[in-house]
Structure 1
Amino acid sequence: MWIRAILGAVLVCLLILHFLKRLQTQKNYPPGPPLYITALRFIQAGFRIQPDTFTKLAKEYGTIYSVWEDSVPVIVVSGYESIKEVLIKHSEEFSGRSITPFYRDVVGDKGIVASNGHIWEQHRKFGLVTLRKLGLGKKVLQRQIEDLALQLAETFARENGQPFEPSVHFFSSVSNVICALVFGHQYSLDDEEFVKLMHALNYGVHFGGTFFHLLYEAAPWLMKHIKGPYKGVYAAADVIFAQARKEIEMHKTKLAGNDPRDFIDYYLLQIEEQSKNDPASTYDTETLVHCISEFLFAGTETVNATLQWGLLLMVHHPDIQEKVQKEMEDAFGSSRSINYEDRKKLPYTLAVINEIQRFKYILVASTPRECIKDVTVLGFSVPKGALIIPNIHSILYDSKVWETPEKFNPNHFLDKDGKFVAREELLIFGAGSRECLAKNLAQMELFYFFTILLKAFTFKLPEGVTEVNLEPVGGVIFCPQHYKICALPRVH
C-alpha cells in the first residue's frame, strides 16, 4: 500500500506541474476543469475511471470541454447532436487514432485499430472486404456461431442447475468465434494452447484501466524504470503474438490460392499480390500479427461483458426474461432452431438485447480520435493533434433521448405497436470513418448466444441470494462484479 501511496503522490505532482505549464496555452480551446481537479476526482474514484466520469464534468463545463494528457489537449464531447457533428459531419478531420504510451510500448501501432494514414486506409478497406467474403451475415459464419452457442448451452446444462460463474464459459466461447474467423478453426476448450491464450487475453483485458496502467500513461518515462507491475502484461502480449505467428506459419504451408479459408489466408494472399503490384503496399506479416491480436482483444471481451450483463439483467428482471421466452415459443414453438434471419420475428427480444447494450454500455467512452487537421467544432478551435473523446454515456443516459434512462426498459426500442425500432442514438459501435469494423459480427453473436441460452434455460439467483449487484468493475471494460447463477433447464 505504501508503494501505491508514493506513486499516487508522484502522479498528482506530475498532473499539477502539467496544469501549471498549460495555463497559458488553453486560451483558445474549450473551457474545462483545471488538471488538479481532474486528478483529485480520479483519486477519489479509487484510481479508476468510472462510467459517469466524463458526464459529471459535462454538467459543470458543458457539452464540449478540455482536459489535458501530458502536452496534448483532450477535448471531451457530450450529447447526441454534438457527438454526431464530431463523428459524422467532421469524420475526416477526426479520423486519426492516438496511440497511448502504454499501448505503443506493449502492443505497437500496427494493425487496423491502432494505425493511421495510408496503412490504416489500406487495412480498414481490406478488413471490411475480407469480413464480407468470410461470410458476415451469411450461412457459414452463422452456423459456426450457432454451434458455439449450442456447445455453451451444453456446458451450462452440465452444471445441473447448481450455482456457477458464467464469465469463464462466455469468454472461451466468444474467443472461439474470433479464432474460427481468423485462424479458420475452433479450439477444444481444454486445448493447452487455447487455455494459455485465454489466460493471456484475460490478463491483458483486466490490466487495462488499473492503477498501474493509468500511471504508465501519465508518466511513461518513469514507469519504464519500474518493471515489476508490467511483467505480466508484457508476457501476456508475447503469448498472443507468439500464437498468431505460429498460426501464420502453419497457414503459409497450407495456403490454397483459390480457396482462402480465413482472415490469415486472405491476408497472406494480399501480401503476395501487393508485393507485385504496389510498391507502397503496407501489408506484411508483422502487421498481420497485430491485426490478429486486435481481433482477439476487441472481439472477445466486449461481447463477453455484454452477455454477462444480459444474464444478470434477466435474473434481475424475471418478468422480462419470461416475456422473451414466450415470444420465442409463440414464434417458433419448441422444436425449431432460431436463425439470424428470424430476428425480425422477435421484436421484443431484439429490444431487450439493444437495451442491455444501452443500459450497461461497457466502455467509459467511445475510442478516442485524433484530429488530423485544424478545425472549428461547436464554436471552438480544435488544433491538429488534439484528442477527441466522444462521451457516449452522455447519450445513453440522456432523459431528452430516452423515456426512463436510469431504468432497464426494452420499450425504448419498441414503437406503440410493439415493433422493433433501431435507434440511431445507440452509438455504442461509434460512427463515421472509425466505426467498429466487426459491428455486424458482434450483433450476430449477441443474438445467437442470448436467444439459444434463454430458449434452453431459465436463469435464477442461487438459493439464499436475494440481491443483484449491478455496479460495474471499473476499468477499460466495465464488467459485472463476479456473480453466480443457476441455469434451470426449461421443459418444452
Structure 2
Amino acid sequence: MWYVFLPAGALLVLFLWWDTIRPTGFPPGPPWLPLIGNVFLTQKLKRKYDGQHGVFEYLSRKYNTKLIGMRLGSEIVVAVRGYPLVKEALTRDEFCGRPDNFFSRMRTFGKRLMGVTFTDGEHWEEHRSFTVRTLRELGFGRNTMNELINNELAEIIQTLERTNGSIAPVQLLSFSVLNVIWALATGKRIEQENNTLKDLFEILRKRSTLFDISGGLLNQIPWIRFLAPEWTGYSLLLKLNQRLASFFTQALNDHFTNYDDLKSSDDFIYAFIREMNKRSHDPNTTFTETQLVVTLLDLFIAANITTVIINLIFMMMILRPEIQANVHREIDAFKDSIRWKDRHNFSYVEAVIFEVQRFFYVAAISGPRRAMQDCELGGYKIPQNATVLIDLKSVHMDEEYWIDPGTFRPERFLDQNGQLVNTERLIPFSLGKRKCLGDGLARACIFVYFCGIMQRYEITTPEGEEPPSVQLIPGITYLPKPYKAIFKLRGMKQSNPIS
C-alpha cells in the first residue's frame, strides 16, 4: 500500500521545490527555503550586524547589488539601498502602497485600511487629505502650533527648575512632545502624573526594540504566536492595543457626549465627528470611530519619534562640549525668545540638528512600502504586492558622498559663509507623497525645544557616571540607551527666554 503515497509525496516535493524559485527578473539575493524563505538567515544576520540595516548592508556587498531580493515567510521582499534608487522608490506612485500582513493588522486592531500611516489606495488618499487639511485649519504650521510648542517648553523649564540633580531627558521630553499633538487632537493636554501614559510609553519602547520594521518573526511566521506569545511579542502587542483603546476612550467619550453641530471644530476629534455625521447616510463610509482611534494612534507614535531625535541632540551636547559651546555662542547673540520663524538666524543650530538626524539612523529603514503593480526598479522586475524596504541609513552614511560619514561634524552642512548647504540627501522624514505627515511639527518642536533649553542651560554628565553611548538599540525605531544629564543654569543675558 505504500505506493499509494508516492504521488502525494512527489507532489509535496514538487511544491517545496517550486516554492524556492525566484520570480523572473527578480533582484539578486540569498536563495530561500520553502515556506519560511530567508527568515532564519535574516534573524542570524540581525544579531551579527546590529539590526536589519546591517543585514541589508552585508547582503548588498555579498551580491554586489543595491537591490536585494529575498523572501520573509510568505512575503516577497525587496530591500533598496543608495540615494538614486531610494529617491526613486520613495517618490514613485507604484511604491506608495503599504503591506497587508499580520503585523500591520495587529497595529490597527486586526483590521485592514485603518488610520493614515498603514493604509493605501483611495482610503489613504481620502484620510490623508482630511488629516492634513484639518490639522492646518487647527493651526498646524501657524501661530497656534507655535503657541502650543512654547507653552510646553515653559512646562519643561519649570520641571528643570524644580529638579535637583540629574534627570533622564527622555522623561523630560516624552509628555511634552506628545502634548503638542494631543492638544491639537483633543483640545487638552495630559498631565505628567498620568500613570496610564507612562505605562504606554514603556510598552511602546518595548515594542520598538522587540520588532524590526518588517515585523520580525511574528509577522513572518504568524502561527508561532500560539507556541511563544511572550517571546514573539504577540502578548505585548495585545496589551498595547488594549491600553491604547482604554487611553483614547475617555477623550472620545467626552467629545461624543459634548458634540454640538454648531460648535466650531476646535480640535481634531470634533472635526472628525462632524465629518462622520455628514457621511452617516453612506453605508460605505470610512469615517468611523475605529478609523478615528487608529488615526490618533498614528499621531501618537509620530510624536514618540520626535522625542527620540531631541533626546539624541542633548546627548551630543554632552559628548561634544565644543559643539555645545558653539551652539551657546550663536544662541546668545539673539536676545529674545527663539521661535520657529527665527530658524533662519541659526545656521549652526540647524546644522547640528541636521547632523544628528544624519548620524543617528533613528528610522534606519523607512516605513515598509507595497508595490501596487508589477513594475521595474533599477533594471529588475518587482512583482505586484512585493514588500519594499527602503534603507535610509545607506543614504545618510554613504561614504562616497559624505566622505567621513562616521564622524559627527555639523560643519558639513555649512558653506564658507556659514550658510546651510548640502541638505538634499538628508531625508529623515522620507520623501514624496508618503513623507511624514507631521514633519513640520516635528522640525518645529526639535528646533524650539533645543534652542529654548540651550538658552538657559548647560548640559553635562552627572559626576561619577559614564557618558552616554552613541550605540543605538535596534528595532522599529532605533533608540538611544538610557542616560541621565545635569541641566546647569547658565548666566543668562536675556531676561525672558520663553514667552
Determine helix, strand or coil for the equivalent of 1:411.
helix
Deviation at 1:19, TM superposition (A): 9.4
> Take 1:369 and 1:176, find their aligned partners in 2: how far apart are those partners?
29
CA 1:57–1:44 in structure 2 vs 1: closer, same or farther (change >3 Å)? closer
How far 1:58 moved relative to its partner? 1.9
Q: Distance in 1 between matches of 2:285 and 2:383?
A: 30
Number of the residue aligned with 2:328: 325
Residues paired across the two proteins, number: 465
1:161-180 to structure 2, matched below 5 A, reads: 162-180=165-183
Structure 1 residues 55, 19: CA separation in 2 closer, same or farther (over 3 Å shift)?
A: farther
| 1:2-38 Cα distance to aligned partner (Å, 9 max, x none) | xxxxxxxxxxxxxxxx996643234420001234777
Question: Tell me, what secondary structure is at the counterpart of 1:296?
Answer: helix
Q: Deviations over 1:19-71 (max 9, x none)?
A: 96643234420001234777345325439725433223222331111111222
CA distance in 1 between partners of 2:422 and 2:267 (Å): 31
Alignment of 1:212-223 (within 5 A): 214-223=216-225
Aligned amino acid, residue 59 of structure 1: R
Instruction: Pick one of 24, 28, 32 that aligns with 2:29.
Output: 32
Unaligned runs of 5+ in 2: 1-14, 493-499
- Can you list the C-alpha shifts for 1:379-432, whole angstroms capped at 9, x where unaligned? 111111111111110000012322421111112221221012361211111111
Q: Does the CA contact (< 8 Å) of 1:106 and 1:234 recur in 2?
A: no
- d(CA) in 2 for partners of 1:426, 1:169: 27
Alignment of 1:59-208 (within 5 A): 59-61=61-63, 62-88=65-91, 91-107=92-108, 108=110, 109=112, 110-160=114-164, 162-190=165-193, 194-208=194-208
Q: Is the 8 A contact 1:399 1:405 kept in 2?
A: yes
> What's the counterpart of residue 12 of structure 1?
none
- How far apart in 2 are the matches of 1:264 and 1:163? 38
Pair 1:51–1:166, CA change in 2 (3 A)? farther
Deviation for aligned residue 1:346: 0.6
1:367 shift after superposition = 0.6
Who is 1:309 aligned against?
312
Work out whether residues 179 and 186 of structure 1, in 8 Å CA contact, stay in contact via their aligned partners in 2. Answer: yes
> For the Cα contact (< 8 Å) 1:33–1:66, is it kept in 2?
yes
Question: Cα distance, 1:444 vs. partner?
Answer: 0.8
Q: How far off is 1:228 after superposition?
A: 4.2
Does the residue aligned with 1:275 lie in a helix, a strand or coil?
A: coil
Structure 2 vs 1, CA of residues 228 and 455 (structure 1 numbering), >3 Å: closer, same or farther?
A: same
- Is the 1:49–1:209 contact (alpha carbons within 8 Å) kept by the matching residues of 2? no
Point out the structure with max Rg over C-alpha: 2
Q: Which one of the candidate residues 241, 245, 257 is aligned to 1:241?
A: 245
Residue number in structure 1 paired with 2:55: 53
Gap change, CA 1:115 and 1:50, over 3 Å in 2: closer
Measure, in 2, the Cα distance between the counterparts of 1:151 and 1:405: 36
Query: How much has 1:98 moved relative to structure 2?
Result: 0.7
Deviation at 1:121, TM superposition (A): 1.2
Secondary structure of 1:28's partner? Answer: coil
Distance 1:217 1:115, change over 3 A: same
| Deviation for aligned residue 1:155 | 1.5
Supply the distance in 2 between the matched residues of 1:252 and 1:41 (Cα, whole angstroms): 47
What SS class does the counterpart of residue 400 from structure 1 fall into?
A: helix
Deviation at 1:254, TM superposition (A): 2.4
How does the TM-score come out when normalised to structure 1? 0.89
Q: Does 1:272 align with 2:277?
A: yes
CA contact (8 A) 1:403 1:412 kept: no
Superposition map of 1:422-441 within 5 A = 423-441=423-441
**Aligned partners of 1:326, 1:117: CA distance in 2, in Å?**
49
Deviation at 1:436, TM superposition (A): 0.8
Structure 1 CA distance, aligned partners of 2:151 and 2:171? 18
Q: Do the aligned partners of 2:364 and 2:393 also contact (CA within 8 Å) in 1?
A: yes
Residue 470 of structure 2 contacts residue 480 of structure 2 at CA under 8 Å; is this kept in 1? Answer: yes
Structure 1 residues 99 and 199: CA distance shift in structure 2, 3 A: farther
For the Cα contact (< 8 Å) 2:302–2:438, is it kept in 1?
no
- TM-score under structure 2 normalisation? 0.87
State how far apart, in whole Å, the 1-side matches of 2:265 and 2:116 are: 20
Counterparts of 1:462 and 1:477, CA distance in 2: 27
1:391-410 to 2 correspondences below 5 Å: 391-410=391-410
- Assess if the C-alpha contact under 8 Å between 1:204 and 1:237 holds in 2: no
Q: Provide the secondary structure at the position in 2 that maps to 1:52.
A: helix
User: Per the alignment, do residues 137 and 106 of structure 1 end up closer, same or farther by CA in structure 2, a change over 3 Å counting?
Assistant: closer
Q: Is the 8 A contact 1:241 1:290 kept in 2?
A: no
8 A Cα contact 2:365 2:390, kept in partner: yes
Q: Which amino acid in the other structure matches residue 204 of structure 2?
A: G
**Contact 1:128 1:437 survives alignment (8 Å):** yes
For residue 275 of structure 1, report the CA deviation from its aligned partner: 3.2
Partner amino acid, structure 1, of 2:406: E
RMSD: 2.4
1:338 lines up with 2:338 in the alignment: yes
Higher mean Cα deviation, 260-269 or 20-29? 20-29
Are the aligned partners of 2:53 and 2:391 in contact in 1 as well (CA < 8 Å)? no
Contact 1:87 1:432 in 2 (8 A): yes
Q: Judge which range, 168-177 or 350-359, deviates more.
A: 168-177
Using the alignment, how far apart are the partners of 1:293 and 1:365 within structure 2? Answer: 20
Residue 478 (structure 1) aligns with:
478
Of the candidates 250, 257, 265, which is equivalent to residue 260 of structure 1? Answer: 265
Task: Supply the AA of the counterpart residue of 2:277.
Answer: E
Report the CA distance shift for 1:50/1:68 in structure 2 as closer, same or farther (over 3 A): closer
Question: Quick one: which amino acid aligns to residue 179 of structure 2?
Answer: N
Contact 1:87 1:431 in 2 (8 A): yes
Which residue number in structure 2 is paired with residue 11 of structure 1? Answer: none
Q: Residue by residue, what CA displacement relative to the aligned partner does 1:203-222 show, whole Å, maximum 9, x if unpaired? A: 03422342796221221123
Q: Distance in 2 between matches of 1:279 and 1:236?
A: 30
**Distance in structure 1 (CA, Å) of the matches to 2:130 and 2:16:** 42
Looking at structure 2, the residues matched to 380 and 156 of structure 1 have their Cα atoms a distance apart, in angstroms, of: 55
Confirm or deny: 8 A CA contact 1:469 1:481 kept in the other structure: yes
> Residues of 1 paired with 2:440 and 2:370: CA distance?
25
CA contact (8 A) 2:200 2:240 kept: yes
- Structure-to-structure mapping, 1:440-459, within 5 angstroms: 440-459=440-459
